[in-house]
Amino acid sequence: MSDGAGVVIVGAGECGARAALSLRESGYPHPVTLIGDEVHLPYERPPLSKQLLLAEATSSPPPVLTDIMLAERGIRHIGEALVEAIDPAGRQVILSDGRALPYEKLLLTTGATPRRLPNAPASRRIRYLRTMDDALELRPWIRAGTHIAVLGGGFIGLEVAASARSRGAEVTVIESQERILKRGVPEAIAEMVETLHRRNGVVVRCGVTVLRIEADDRRVEISLSDSAGISADVLVVGIGAQPRTELALQAGLAVDNGIAVNDRLETSAANIYAAGDCCSFPHPLYGERRLRLEAWRNAQDQGILAAANLAGGASRYAAVPYFWSDQFDHTLQIAGLVDEGRTVVRRDLGDGAFILFHLDGEQRLVAVSGIGQGNRIAKDMKLSEMLIAKRITPSIHALTTAPSLKSLLPRA
């Protein structure tokens, strides 16, 4: 490796780790430093609410980077470290222990943090799920004979509910909206997910708000707006996440629902980039609408693109937004932005599986959502994602009757 300050990456999650790997895979010759606040090496987060809670024995999620990979690629990893400040003029970051690390270019992949429940008592029986340690601390509660209350009917809350119920726990989901998965998931799919949960013994209570929470060493008592109450062994709170923008604000960077970047993932300060859950960016498929995505695919894709631009490239980010969730034996997938669609067309795939095509006012395909057992919808969702990326305006008849969606793709 050549000398020089090189690239410093603040945030050692999926996005930061993928950026570090991509820099080396592209032949970047200068130092690469990856700084994380956890003791663990970078790991995959999707298993935290699924496989890690379901495992019969203590286990860890798959690593993104290992000690061997770090050594072989010459990536410096600094764990259990907090970056307290960025000095854009001096091109350095300041750690909480007083160390100053110089950089030629800086990438912020600081991620997001769970939204905290206001006025909740401090108790080990009120849990949040974001890190491996969070999952390992929650896991002993996920067993037969316990009652798990889940506040929030979004992806994370429902994944925890499904995992807990699969291990025999009694589960109640509390959602203040009139239905679960209100944000970005079509009602038809949300209804199927709710039916799936109820069929598996999960109690789902929508349209109720929490009035008061009390907790002691034995129970959590939750008072609700419908005059009913819930007594549980533990309360898992999943009410959304907030981007970690503290460092960006301290450094004077522009912030707009996350660290504001352009289509090359550049911030408002020279030589500083941001990617993943912490940043908002304009998307060319949706009229440069500014988005912030909390998704594994986005973190991976933006980490790879940021690496290319840190190494001197000028690539623009235009990947189709993609989300997925496992709910018992079903998989839910969404490609694109559902709320951009005005017309919805359904394609049935058999065995109860289906996908919904979302078309805008000009009949362009802007999103596809689907649900089915196992990998039942995987092929059609992948082809649909390609159709969205190519800005296809298919006929409704073709969407519902074509033997294969591949036939709708333009020929090379």
Render pLDDT for 176-192 as a digit per residue (tens, 0 to 9).
999 999 998 999 999 99
Across the range 207-228, mean pLDDT stands at 93
Interacting residues of 56 by C-beta distance below 8 A, sequence separation 6+: none
pLDDT band for position 328 (50/70/90)? very high
Query: Which CATH superfamily does the domain covering 116-237 fall into?
Result: FAD/NAD(P)-binding domain (3.50.50.60)
pLDDT band for position 4 (50/70/90)? confident
Looking at the DSSP assignment, which residues form a beta bridge with residue 260?
Answer: 280
Tokens representing residue 317 in the block: 């980010």
Q: How many residues does the chain have?
A: 412
Q: Among 13-22, 56-65, 119-128, where is mean pLDDT lowest?
A: 56-65
Q: Report the percentage of the chain scoring pLDDT > 90.
A: 93
Residue 234 has pLDDT above 60, yes or no: yes
pLDDT of residue 412: 58
Which stretches does DSSP call E strand in 208-297? 210-215, 220-224, 229-232, 234-237, 241-243, 259-260, 272-274, 279-283, 289-291
HSE-CB of 21 using CA atoms within 13 angstroms: 20
Residue 332 has pLDDT above 60, yes or no: yes
Sheet holding 279-283, edge to edge: 259-260, 279-283, 289-291
The whole-angstrom separation of Cα 277 and Cα 44 is 14
Looking at the domain 7-51+61-113+242-310, which fold is it?
FAD/NAD(P)-binding domain (3.50.50)
Q: Among 70-74, 214-218, 358-362, where is mean pLDDT lowest?
A: 214-218
Residue 48 has pLDDT above 90, yes or no: yes
The whole-angstrom separation of Cα 312 and Cα 389 is 25
Q: Per residue in 242-275, pLDDT tens? A: 999 999 999 999 999 999 999 999 999 999 999 9
Residue 1 has pLDDT above 80, yes or no: no
pLDDT of residue 227: 78
Q: What residue type is assigned to position 52 of the chain? A: L
Across the range 371-382, mean pLDDT stands at 96
Q: Are 368 and 397 in contact (CB under 8 A)?
A: no
Which stretches does DSSP call E strand in 225-309? 229-232, 234-237, 241-243, 259-260, 272-274, 279-283, 289-291
| C-alpha distance from residue 279 to each of 87, 232, 381 (Å) | 19, 36, 26
Tokens representing residue 88 in the block: 């854009």
The whole-angstrom separation of Cα 337 and Cα 368 is 8
Interior angle at CA 384, CA 383 and CA 390, nearest 5: 95
The whole-angstrom separation of Cα 153 and Cα 165 is 15
To the nearest 10°, report the CA torsion of 43, 49, 55, 58.
50
| pTM score | 0.95
Q: What average pLDDT does the chain have? A: 95
Residue 222: which of 233, 210, 234 has the closest Cα?
Answer: 210
Residue 174: which of 87, 235, 129, 122 has the closest Cα?
Answer: 235
pLDDT band for position 59 (50/70/90)? confident
Residue 2 has pLDDT above 70, yes or no: no
The burial of 102, by beta-carbon neighbours within 10 Å (0-12 exposed, 13-18 middle, 19 or more buried), is given as: middle
pLDDT band for position 411 (50/70/90)? confident
pLDDT of residue 41: 95
CATH 3.50.50.60 positions along the chain are 7-51+61-113+242-310, 116-237
CATH 3.30.390.30 positions along the chain are 329-408
pLDDT of residue 26: 96
Looking at the domain 329-408, which fold is it?
Enolase-like; domain 1 (3.30.390)
Q: Are 190 and 180 in contact (CB under 8 A)?
A: yes
Residue 267: which of 255, 276, 277 has the closest Cα?
Answer: 255
